[in-house]
């Protein structure tokens, strides 16, 4: 919040100076055109003491020499500060702690050239001057000579008409006040004046006596009734006002915080205080009473705080709940305190939680730091839960709140602790089993799924392999259902535990008819409704635009309520992009578009996307995701990082023939993990197209520190030829189909997934699919369910449709969030591989990655990416053209030749149709009546590769490259005082007499006017002249 700070803690002193100078440049409210707005405050202070009509001192000041002193000046400071904030809303009046900042060697001393100028020069009438030898223009914000020439209001009859200071030149004020020792010119100390054992009358008297001493010590303008002519006036009075705030917090409850010493108008508790003569222009709009000034934190509805004030704390919620924490993971939660104030608040855990609850690595001490721009701030005390299996027994945490009192005004000693309260919070938790996910697969089996996907495989075959790996990697206790759709919806596997579900190769995915995505989603939703596990997700795969009603947007409300992922198997604009993007983004899921899969290098792409979706469903993290090739005799060693925050790790190899592969892991401690190792925390998964080590960390019981955090290595090589020959004696293995076919090497994809307390989420924001639109790439990092505040780098490798790529740095946005914008240019598929790396709080390295895709296309038909077009006529035309030229053999080869002979570029013609009719479905006739598809199926049957057909070759050893000579590095070099004659009204008070002052004690209030000490009006001051004229 906006606190008045000690000068030593000002981040930018020039902001205060510039705001003050701005008021000096503004026109007056009291005398427009004759003086400045700043001068109005010097005149108001003058008028509080001096009656301009009689040209004598007032018998009773509006704001001095009595109980009114503290509230009157509190309001004056408030109004001045509000004017400063019209110039700079963040500016507040700093306070000068003259008990500690007495010389230029002390922090917080305000009399410096780079702040408010220095002492006056004795040889020049104590005039405050610029720094000697300073360049022109003057380099500091406050120019004392310009300030001097700007002053227009002076004491009547006084010859001082410039900016003057006379530090310590008076015999009755040679020194500034002290905290503990009484100095010449006062009868008290700062600590005595704020003592909680005294009443308001005594407190006010002691405060005003110290106040007068400081005025006399500064001398010059500060001796005068127009003392605001020196800007130090406001910093000095802020310190006095601070004393009233401190005293109020130290006195016993019930102590009157204001006791009037006069019955004169403007002095009583509920009187409006006086800042102008009746009928004259007011310097500001007020009407404030002493009663309204007592609580400085609430006055005028917004209040004023000093950074030394005791913070106000709202009690936290009496209970703290950890909800649905996955078993085995650790989660942090914070007891939250709402705080008002301007100083740090500290918290100490004095009673530790027990059982599954405990302290975090952050320890038991916490500090909450105020935020200048906010009205309040929060303090957080962190505890953790490591989720066990079964019910969690409640616990509690005891917390002590306190401040460190550097000044010792509240605590017994300087630097001691001052208590703000003690609190107890009950801790409770619910957990969920790791195997608590239910997944409904909704899979396209329309006619176009029979299209080639490269390497001799069809889309349908790649899908069959991908879901087989998906099932192998699911946890056995999770639940799964499989529904398929063309224009007919089937559910061959109803919702059940993975461990008891039929093999996915029993699911009939043979391409058939049209594309009824909405019907498939309805079937998936029904299966999820039957699930017993809480973590429910749907995964939809399609390769076309929907063309059977009801479409997705026509489904009944409430059909899609669970997290939904979608994989568009094809090009942007042809896979119901917009409709699927709507349902995935609105359910916290994700849409992945594969693009064309037409090369051997892309053979694992669909499977990897399914595995990435599985990681999302199970809240796992992708640590690493490289591809490779293995030849006979070669060996690949792939390092990967496991962090101390990781709890479970899956090291996965996707491979057409996993049995040909020798796959081992080497831990950071050097232990080798094999399928036959027999470690209790390691499970070996041997699937048809996947091998996996599923590990609970630490993986090796005999070496817990060496089998958790650190650099691991996956070692991959082909088994020797003798072993491969032995494996091929198995007729079942030898006859197994290989899709796509394998050539001279064995391709693989290595993936590492971690179930971790350190998580990265990545997502895209795409509001438009047209070329030239912007895609927002976003990521967030969390550790133990709290925004990650360590050092991390986050970036994305962006691949455009033309094959070009670039690296995009995601910039930190606070709270563990990162973001960057990417502007598209071409139509097609954009792929963003979002990656992050960093160190945990204990220095453990980690990596994370996730692939995002975005489709960009020109939707000329004006549809929704779902087959709906802007007119029935254009739809019919497109259907007719496709039927004539693409989907049926209406034109024989002779007709095509005739078209070519006539100069028709047949290839361009077909491409033009694809561009003009991008949203039309390709499957209109059920049961594979398309001749092209029939021919493709026949060709596939003739060319199917088996494991026995695979002929791998030996790796060629690379030639040794000559080692260049290292260049020699050059060594790097390491390197005599004048007695003032002016009589001031700021005299030392008779404290014994002052402390007896209250209504009824001294009889009728009459003030102690010191007119005899003052000269008559008649000086240069414009104020004196104007008042003679105006009043």
On the question of pLDDT at 753 being above 70, the answer is yes
Largest CA distance in the chain: 128
Per-residue pLDDT for 317 more than 70?
Answer: yes
Q: Which residue has better confidence, 928 or 378?
A: 378
The answer to whether 623 and 754 have CB atoms below 8 angstroms apart is: yes
Read off the pTM.
Answer: 0.73
3-state helix, strand, coil in the chain (%, to 5): 25, 25, 50
H/E segment holding residue 721: helix 721-727
CA 636 to CA 633: how far, in whole Å?
10
- Of all residues in the chain, the percent with pLDDT exceeding 70 is 87
Gap between the Cα atoms of 661 and 743, Å rounded: 16
Cβ atoms of 957 and 631 closer than 8 Å? no
In order, the DSSP letters of 411-463 are SSSTTEEEEEEEEEEEEEEEEE-SS-EEEEEEEE--GGGGSB-STT-BHHHHH
Bridge-based pairing of strands 319-326 and 416-432 is: parallel
DSSP reduced 3-state for 663? strand
Domain ranges of the chain: 3-308, 312-432, 437-856, 876-918
Decide if 857 contacts 577 (C-beta within 8 A): yes
How many CB atoms sit inside 10 A of residue 27's CB? 12
Q: How confident is the model over 428-444, as a mean pLDDT? A: 93
Higher pLDDT among residues 718 and 1018, named by residue = 718
Rounded Cα–Cα distance for residues 317 and 271 (Å) = 41
Cα atoms in the 13 Å half-sphere on the side-chain side of 829? 20
Beta bridge partners of 780: 761, 817
Cα angle, residue 532 at apex, residues 526 and 536 outer, rounded to 5°: 65
How far does Cα 195 stand from its chain's mean position? 44
CA 245 to chain centre: 35
Question: How far is it, in rounded angstroms, from Cα 141 to Cα 595?
Answer: 62
**Is residue 194 pLDDT above 70, yes or no?**
yes
SS3 152: coil
Domain 437-856 has CATH 3.90.550.10: no
Read out DSSP for 306-367?
ETTSPPEEEPPPSEEEEEEEETT-EEEEEEEEEEESSS-EEEEEEE---TTEEE-TT-SEEE
What pLDDT does residue 604 have?
86
Q: What number is the average pLDDT over the span 833-837?
A: 97
Q: Helices marked H in 198-352 — which ranges?
A: 200-218, 232-250, 290-293
pLDDT of residue 454: 66
d(CA 346, CA 332): 19
Of 95, 65, 49, 41, nearest to 237 by C-alpha is 95
Mean pLDDT of 559-583: 92
Note the pLDDT of residue 736: 79
pLDDT (0 to 100) of residue 861: 46
Report CA Rg, the chain: 41
Average pLDDT over residues 312-326: 94
Give the pLDDT mean for 169-188: 96
* Whether 94 contacts 7, CB under 8 Å: yes
For the cut 80, the answer to whether the pLDDT of residue 792 exceeds it is: yes
* pLDDT average, residue stretch 1002-1028: 38
- Give the CA count within 13 Å in the CB-facing half-sphere of 750: 23
Non-local CB neighbours of 397 within 8 Å, separated by 6+ positions:
320, 335, 349, 351, 352, 353, 357, 381, 383, 424, 425, 427
Residue 735: the pLDDT is 80
How would DSSP label each residue in 950-980?
----BPPPPPPPPPPPPPPPPPPPP------
Please report which confidence band the pLDDT of residue 886 belongs to, taking 50, 70 and 90 as the band edges: low
| CA–CA dist 454, 741 (Å, integer) | 10
Instruction: Give Cα 517 to chain centroid, integer Å.
Output: 38
**pLDDT tens digit sequence for 599-639:** 666 778 899 999 999 999 998 999 988 999 999 999 999 99
Give the mean pLDDT of 123-149.
96
929 has a pLDDT exceeding 80: no
pLDDT band at residue 492 using 50, 70 and 90 as cut-offs = very high
* Superfamily holding 312-432: Immunoglobulins (2.60.40.10)
User: What is the average pLDDT across 209-220?
Assistant: 97
* Mean pLDDT score across all residues of the chain: 88
Q: Which pLDDT score, from 0 to 100, does residue 960 have?
A: 60
Tokens found for residue 991: 């404290």
Q: What is the pLDDT of residues 531-562, one digit of tens each?
A: 999 999 999 999 989 999 999 999 999 999 99
Q: Which of 569, 611, 635, 643 is nearest to 844 (CA)?
A: 643
* Reported confidence tier of residue 1006, pLDDT bands at 50, 70, 90: very low
Q: Determine contact, residues 505/463, Cβ cutoff 8 Å.
A: no
3-308 CATH fold: di-copper center containing domain from catechol oxidase (1.10.1280)
Best CA proximity match to 300, nearest among 475, 516, 71: 71
Question: Cα 62 from chain centroid?
Answer: 51
- pLDDT of 657-705, one tens digit each? 999 999 999 999 999 999 999 999 999 999 999 999 999 999 999 999 9
For 581, phi then psi, to 5°, come to -65, -35
What are the residues facing 759 on neighbouring strands? 782
pLDDT in tens, 442-490: 999 999 999 887 667 889 999 999 999 999 999 999 999 999 999 999 9
Confidence of residue 1010 (pLDDT cuts 50, 70, 90): very low
> What does the pLDDT look like over 13-65, one tens digit per residue?
999 999 999 999 999 999 999 999 999 999 999 999 999 999 999 999 999 99
- Determine contact, residues 431/321, Cβ cutoff 8 Å: no
Look at residue 400 and tell me whether its pLDDT is greater than 60. Answer: yes
Q: What angle do CA 710, 713, 714 make, to 5 degrees?
A: 140
Min mean pLDDT across 234-243, 849-858, 871-880 is at 871-880
pLDDT score of 945? 80
What was the pLDDT predicted at 921? Answer: 40
Split at pLDDT 50, 70, 90, the class of 1022 is very low
Could you tell me which residues are beta bridge partners of residue 445? none
pLDDT over threshold 80, residue 833: yes
DSSP 27: B
* Tokens (6 digits) for 428: 């409770």
Tokens, residue 601: 């290098």
């Amino acid at each position: 919040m906006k606190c008045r700070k000690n000068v030593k803690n000002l981040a930018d002193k020039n902001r205060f100076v510039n705001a003050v100078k701005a008021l000096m440049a503004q026109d007056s409210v009291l005398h427009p055109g004759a003086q400045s707005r700043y001068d109005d405050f010097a005149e108001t202070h003058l008028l509080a003491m001096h009656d301009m009509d009689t040209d004598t001192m007032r018998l009773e000041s509006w704001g001095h020499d009595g109980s009114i002193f503290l509230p009157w000046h509190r309001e004056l400071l408030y109004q001045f500060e509000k004017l400063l904030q019209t110039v700079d809303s963040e500016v507040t009046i700093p306070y000068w702690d003259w008990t500690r900042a007495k010389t230029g060697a002390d922090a917080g001393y305000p009399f410096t050239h780079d702040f408010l100028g220095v002492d006056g020069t004795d040889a020049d009438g104590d005039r405050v001057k610029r720094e000697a030898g300073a360049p022109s223009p003057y380099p500091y914000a406050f120019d004392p000579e310009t300030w001097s020439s700007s002053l227009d209001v002076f004491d009547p009859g006084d010859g001082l008409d410039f900016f003057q200071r006379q530090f310590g030149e008076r015999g009755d004020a040679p020194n500034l006040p002290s905290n503990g020792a009484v100095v010449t010119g006062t009868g008290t100390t700062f600590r005595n004046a704020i003592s909680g054992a005294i009443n308001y009358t005594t407190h006010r008297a002691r405060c005003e006596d110290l106040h007068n001493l400081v005025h006399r010590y500064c001398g010059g303008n500060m001796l005068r009734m127009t003392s605001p002519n020196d800007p130090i006036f406001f910093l000095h009075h802020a310190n006095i006002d601070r004393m009233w705030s401190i005293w109020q917090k130290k006195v016993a409850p019930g102590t009157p915080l204001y006791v009037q010493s006069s019955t004169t108008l403007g002095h009583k508790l509920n009187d409006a205080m006086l800042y102008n003569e009746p009928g004259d222009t007011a310097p500001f709009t007020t009407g404030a009473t002493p009663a309204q000034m007592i609580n400085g934190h609430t006055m005028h509805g917004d209040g004023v705080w000093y950074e030394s004030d005791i913070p106000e704390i709202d009690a936290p919620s009496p209970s703290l709940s950890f909800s649905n924490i996955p078993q085995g993971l650790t989660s942090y939660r914070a007891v939250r305190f709402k705080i008002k104030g301007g100083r740090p608040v500290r918290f100490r855990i004095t009673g530790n939680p027990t059982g599954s609850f405990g302290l975090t690595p952050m320890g038991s001490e916490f500090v909450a730091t105020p935020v200048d721009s906010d009205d309040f701030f929060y303090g957080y005390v962190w505890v953790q839960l490591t989720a066990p299996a079964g019910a969690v027994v409640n616990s509690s945490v005891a917390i002590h709140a306190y401040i460190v009192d550097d000044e010792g005004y509240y605590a017994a000693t300087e630097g001691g602790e001052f208590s703000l309260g003690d609190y107890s919070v009950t801790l409770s938790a619910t957990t969920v089993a790791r195997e608590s996910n239910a997944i409904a697969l909704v899979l396209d089996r329309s006619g176009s799924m029979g299209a080639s996907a490269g390497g001799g495989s069809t889309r349908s075959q790649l899908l069959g392999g991908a879901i087989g790996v998906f099932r192998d990697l699911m946890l056995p206790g999770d639940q799964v259902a499989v529904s398929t759709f063309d224009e007919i919806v089937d559910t061959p596997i109803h919702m059940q535990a993975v461990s008891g579900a039929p093999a996915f190769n029993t699911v009939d995915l043979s391409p058939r008819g049209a594309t009824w995505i909405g019907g498939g989603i309805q079937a998936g939703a029904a299966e999820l409704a039957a699930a017993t596990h809480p973590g429910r997700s749907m995964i939809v795969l399609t390769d076309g635009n929907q063309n059977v009603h009801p479409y997705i947007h026509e489904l009944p409300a409430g059909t899609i309520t669970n997290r939904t992922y979608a994989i568009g198997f094809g090009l942007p604009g042809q896979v119901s992009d917009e409709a699927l993007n709507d349902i995935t983004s609105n359910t916290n899921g994700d849409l992945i578009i594969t693009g064309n899969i037409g090369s051997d290098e892309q053979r694992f792409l669909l499977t990897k996307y399914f595995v990435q979706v599985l990681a999302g469903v199970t809240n796992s993290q992708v640590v690493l995701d490289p591809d490779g090739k293995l030849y006979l005799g070669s060996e690949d060693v792939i390092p990967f990082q496991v962090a101390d925050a990781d709890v479970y790790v899956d090291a996965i190899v996707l491979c057409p023939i996993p049995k040909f592969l020798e796959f081992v892991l080497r831990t950071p401690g050097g232990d080798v993990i094999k399928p036959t190792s027999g470690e209790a925390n390691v499970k070996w998964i041997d699937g048809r197209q996947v091998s996996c080590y599923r590990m609970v960390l630490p993986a090796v019981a005999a070496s817990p520190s060496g089998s958790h955090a650190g650099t691991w290595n996956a070692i991959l090589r082909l088994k020797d030829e003798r072993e491969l020959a032995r494996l091929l004696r198995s007729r079942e293995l030898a006859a197994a189909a290989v899709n796509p076919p394998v050539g001279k090497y064995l391709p693989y994809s290595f993936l590492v997934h971690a179930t971790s307390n350190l998580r990265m989420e990545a997502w895209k924001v795409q509001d438009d699919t047209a070329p030239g639109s912007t895609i927002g790439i976003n990521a967030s990092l969390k550790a133990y369910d709290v925004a990650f505040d360590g050092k991390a780098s986050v970036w994305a490798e962006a691949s455009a449709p033309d094959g070009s790529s670039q690296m995009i740095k995601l910039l930190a946005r606070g709270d563990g969030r990162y973001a960057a914008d990417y502007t598209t240019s071409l139509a097609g598929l954009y792929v963003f591989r979002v990656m992050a790396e960093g160190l945990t709080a204990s220095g453990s390295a980690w990596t994370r990655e996730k692939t995002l895709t975005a489709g960009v296309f020109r939707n000329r038909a004006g549809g929704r990416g779902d087959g709906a077009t802007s007119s029935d006529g254009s739809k019919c035309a497109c259907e007719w053209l496709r039927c004539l030229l693409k989907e049926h053999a209406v034109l024989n080869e002779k007709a095509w030749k005739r078209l070519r002979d006539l100069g028709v570029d047949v290839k361009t013609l077909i491409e033009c149709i694809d561009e003009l009719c991008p949203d039309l479905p390709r499957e209109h006739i059920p049961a594979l009546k398309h001749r092209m598809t029939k021919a493709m199926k026949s060709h596939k049957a003739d060319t199917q590769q088996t494991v026995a057909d695979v002929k791998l070759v030996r790796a060629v050893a690379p030639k040794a490259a000559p080692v260049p000579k290292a260049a020699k590095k050059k060594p790097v070099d390491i390197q005599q005082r004048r007695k003032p004659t002016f009589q001031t009204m700021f005299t030392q008070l008779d404290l014994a007499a002052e402390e007896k002052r209250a209504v009824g004690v001294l009889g009728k209030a009459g003030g102690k006017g010191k007119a005899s000490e003052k000269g008559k009006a008649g000086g240069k001051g414009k104020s004196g002249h104007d008042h003679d004229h105006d009043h």
